[in-house]
Structure 1
């Protein structure tokens, strides 16, 4: 069943059942069943992402960390987030949220959301850098598609590709966003939400040059702990699942797309391997983490599949330009033509996918803003319910 279909089925099930039940206190078995379904959906969705990334020989499959694959990842996040809210909050007495351990875990999750919002902003700006590289690659493709290939076309292609490769391989801290240190960021601490005409908007200030995407991810992962004992069958469990999903998705975006200061990006997640829903996430994390360790040593701009292809093809075509003499040997022209065709196809995918990806990141951002506001309201209600009457 497609993700959106079983998401709708799950949300409908919870809505109907909780409308029929006045009190949830004596309904632990139903909660356990809903928790099991939620965890199964998480497992199935990430298993699909892992399986797709393994099918490298199938040209119709979206490679791991390609633009199309990242869009599927964001779809998975949106589905998981909607089901999480339904499971933990829909139809529940706010006083349940005021009880341990949720009185601690929900505020901690909200702090992770704050950091994830800033990461989304940084990644959105990173997509703009990718768009610039895409334009440079298109210049090179247009020049090298000319026939016959002359010295003028080769010089123009080399200039564009040299700028492309140089900007993609310098250290993140010294390159990406170094010219744009003032950006619109999300929130401060709890309670700093702003509603205008029923809509949330970001708060803006000057971001420090020392802001670090890697540090944000480290802080998101720092206090995540799997629930134990009785907590493992209660609402602490879906909060843990959602914390991991949120952290994994933002970590993946940071690894794939250039953004400010990624040196030291963590590659370990605090997930017990025996949890059935966690196996596919761990598998993806292991694969991406290994690739990141290799790329980080080179100061690479990121792991986005299209960017890696662009970098590899760009370097090869620069070598061709360096040794070019008119007229070029027919065999060499044929080899270069194949590389130019591949680069043109990469550019096409970027042209079609970068805009929708950027829009989807914004959608995730605004969904988290709304959800955070809703959860803050519930926490406020829970605080009033639990406060003693004077």
Structure 2
């Protein structure tokens, strides 16, 4: 079932069930059923993102390679759907006092703090996509130059210059944070301001420059620091969906940091604090292990980022530089055919980047706004409960 179908049927079911405020004690079985269904949807959605096994029928193999632009867009769609269902479970038609009781009185503030860190990462990734678009333009210059026939010294020199700039820029992506001009919408003061502006329903610009010491890797580490799976009775209560959604948020942000250039990624943790026996988390853990293995290779070799299209630019760019360095007019037929094949693949990669990068950037902004709205909704509920408690006193 498509993710949107999952979401529509699930939200409709909860909406009908909670047409009036209900107490947890009077609807325990229904709550358990909703939690089980939410876990099933999470498991199914992430299973669809997993790469095919060797034994999987060819008809079932997804067309979008893992860590490609199209795959990341599917990942963000999954996040948005899961977030909508999560809020339905936690706050739709629910007595506000229920999310102010232990352990939620601790878990919800931790989750809201995690949200603020995720907002900074979304901004970092949005700016990182600008760097990827720059790589795309350099590759396009090389393609345009070498597509002209017959090859001449002028075209080859132009292509070599663009390709050298491309490879150098990608090799330096993690080493020179000054290459990125960062503007941030949230920080410590910004988090408070977001709470003050939550009633407007609009995202107000709260921007200033961030310190050059800001680190995406440290931000991810901070998001995972207090993420602990609920145990005992808490494992079947409302603490569970909070943990699940926090895990999804952490995985999505970690994946984007590992895939798209952003400030200071060196030392990015590859440990994922999720018990392997959790059924709903199996696909997430499998994806994390695969991406973490690729990240370890990247850090060891110092190669280009994990974005599938960037890896293509790196590989093809290196091959074409070898051709330009050894070029002699007229080019040998066999060599010219090899270059033509590489150019066609490079041109196709640029086309996919042209079609996908701007929509991806828009989608990351949508995730940013969704996190802001979801955070504001929880703050509203907490404020309402605080006022009700004050009146009762």
TM-score range, shorter chain: over 0.9
Cα RMSD (Å): 1.9
Of the candidates 316, 319, 339, which is equivalent to residue 316 of structure 1?
A: 319
Partner of 1:340: 343
Aligned equivalents of 1:306, 1:3: Cα separation in 2? 25
Aligned-pair distance for 1:370?
Answer: 0.7
Partner of 2:74: 72
Structure 1 residue ranges without an equivalent (≥5):
none
Aligned equivalents of 2:94, 2:321: Cα separation in 1? 62
Contact 1:184 1:202 in 2 (8 A): no
Partner of 1:63: 65
Deviations 1:94-148 (A, max 9, x none): 0001100000000000011000000000000000000001000000001111111
Aligned equivalents of 2:331, 2:284: Cα separation in 1? 49
Partner of 1:42: 42
Pick closer, same or farther for the CA change 1:179–1:196 going to 2, 3 Å: farther
Partner of 2:5: 5
Aligned-pair distance for 1:206?
Answer: 1.6
Partner of 2:31: 31
Pick closer, same or farther for the CA change 1:171–1:258 going to 2, 3 Å: closer
Aligned equivalents of 1:84, 1:191: Cα separation in 2? 23
Aligned equivalents of 1:57, 1:325: Cα separation in 2? 44
Contact 1:257 1:303 in 2 (8 A): yes
Of the candidates 102, 105, 121, which is equivalent to residue 103 of structure 1?
A: 105
Contact 1:52 1:62 in 2 (8 A): no
1:367 maps onto 2:370 in alignment? yes
1:244 maps onto 2:255 in alignment? no
Deviations 1:308-347 (A, max 9, x none): 0000000110000000000011000000100000000000
Structure 2 residue ranges without an equivalent (≥5):
none
SS across alignment from 2:193: coil
Aligned-pair distance for 1:379?
Answer: 1.1
SS across alignment from 1:259: coil
Aligned equivalents of 2:58, 2:156: Cα separation in 1? 33
Contact 2:22 2:95 in 1 (8 A): no
How many pairs were matched up?
Answer: 388
Pick closer, same or farther for the CA change 1:56–1:303 going to 2, 3 Å: farther
Aligned equivalents of 2:204, 2:52: Cα separation in 1? 36
Deviations 1:172-203 (A, max 9, x none): 141x5x14444133242653213596412241
Of the candidates 142, 151, 167, which is equivalent to residue 165 of structure 1?
A: 167
Of the candidates 114, 118, 126, which is equivalent to residue 112 of structure 1?
A: 114
